[in-house]
Amino acid sequence: MNLDEIDKNKLPSHVAIIMDGNGRWAKNKSKSRLVGHQKGAETVDEIVTVAAELQISYMTLYAFSTENWHRPQPEVSGLMDLLVNMLNKYIKKLHDNNIRLLVIGETDSLPPKTRKKLADSIKKLQQNTGLTLILALSYSSRWEITEMVKSVAQECLDSQMNVKDINQHVVSQFLCTKNIPDPELLIRTSGEYRISNFLLWQLAYTEFYFTDVLWPDFNRQDFLKAIVDFQKRERRFGKTGEQLNK
């Protein structure tokens, strides 16, 4: 499969990925889980590069969930260090590829070193106009929705808003993904069929693509295959197929 097989006029504007299977990949090779995460980081580079090449507008990567804080401490700190190392290694390439960086999640709980590196990287890339890469870090959808409810309630208490004015648009504006279009395609690797607390509101009409490939083995070809699969789907949004094909 190559880029010619992709219909450039039917690209998903936003692809979200649950990058799963690093631990199992390492286990299969009798390596430590961190080796799996390191290999997974190389996959991130490959997939972000092809997304930028395809001129996809947004890509959200689930890199660390709220629940992942409950993993063994050495794995958690290893992942935090890996993130800093990755940003050091790839910042120039991200910039050269005109990629902008955003982060969603409870970033206050990240270690100061990671927070600083993220803030510096976001700043360096903020004027870029190509792919927007969104890292979900210390993110969970129930956390995000709870924060949204708190903010909306506070606006009402402060008389900035009337309860009757709350609608879907208002809700979206109080989520971390404010002003970012909903994902059109969600990919989850490693043969797990669940959402794991990712973008529950935003995935309402997203097309799901599951593959057994473990994230460290996932490559450009696998990504293109997912895009081609997406392009064959009929997205009806509640209407009938006949209405769409009129």
Which residues contribute to the site for ligand IPE (CB under 6 A)?
18-24, 62-65, 67-68, 79, 190, 192, 194, 196
Least Å from the CB of residue 201 to ligand IPE: 17
> Rule CB under 5 A: is residue 20 a binding residue for Mg ion?
yes
If the CB atoms of residues 74 and 126 are measured against ligand IPE, the closer one turns out to be 74
Residue type (1 letter), 110: L
The answer to whether residue 182 is catalytic is no
CA angle in degrees (0–180, nearest 5) for 46-209-204: 115
Per DSSP, the residues of 202-224 read TTTTPEEEE--S-GGG--HHHHH
If the CB atoms of residues 62 and 223 are measured against ligand IPE, the closer one turns out to be 62
Question: Which of ligand IPE, Mg ion, none lies near 63, with the C-beta cut-off 5 to 8 A by kind?
Answer: ligand IPE
User: Catalytic pick from 45, 68, 98, 128?
Assistant: 68
If the CB atoms of residues 41 and 101 are measured against ligand IPE, the closer one turns out to be 41
- Closest C-alpha among 125, 10, 97, 109 to residue 66: 109
If the CB atoms of residues 12 and 216 are measured against Mg ion, the closer one turns out to be 216
Helix 33-54 with 220-231: angle, nearest 10 deg? 50
Per DSSP, the residues of 62-74 read EEEEGGGGGS-HH
Q: What number of chain residues touch Mg ion (CB under 5 A)?
A: 1
- Closest C-alpha among 41, 46, 56 to residue 87: 41
Least Å from the CB of residue 23 to ligand IPE: 3
- Could you give the CA distance from residue 130 to residue 51 in angstroms, rounded to a whole number? 10
> Rule CB under 5 A: is residue 222 a binding residue for Mg ion?
no
- Could you give the CA distance from residue 232 to residue 234 in angstroms, rounded to a whole number? 7
The answer to whether residue 20 is catalytic is yes
Place of tokens 């902008």: 100
Least Å from the CB of residue 85 to Mg ion: 21
Least Å from the CB of residue 40 to ligand IPE: 6
The region of 11-19, 20-28, 42-50, 144-152 touching Mg ion under the rule CB under 5 A is 20-28
Question: Which of ligand IPE, Mg ion, none lies near 206, with the C-beta cut-off 5 to 8 A by kind?
Answer: none
If the CB atoms of residues 79 and 213 are measured against ligand IPE, the closer one turns out to be 79
Least Å from the CB of residue 196 to Mg ion: 8
Q: Which residue is nearest to ligand IPE (CB)?
A: 23
CA angle in degrees (0–180, nearest 5) for 81-84-89: 125
CA distances from 112 to 41, 103, 185 (A): 21, 15, 33
Catalytic residues: 20, 68
Residues found near Mg ion in the complex (CB under 5 A) = 20
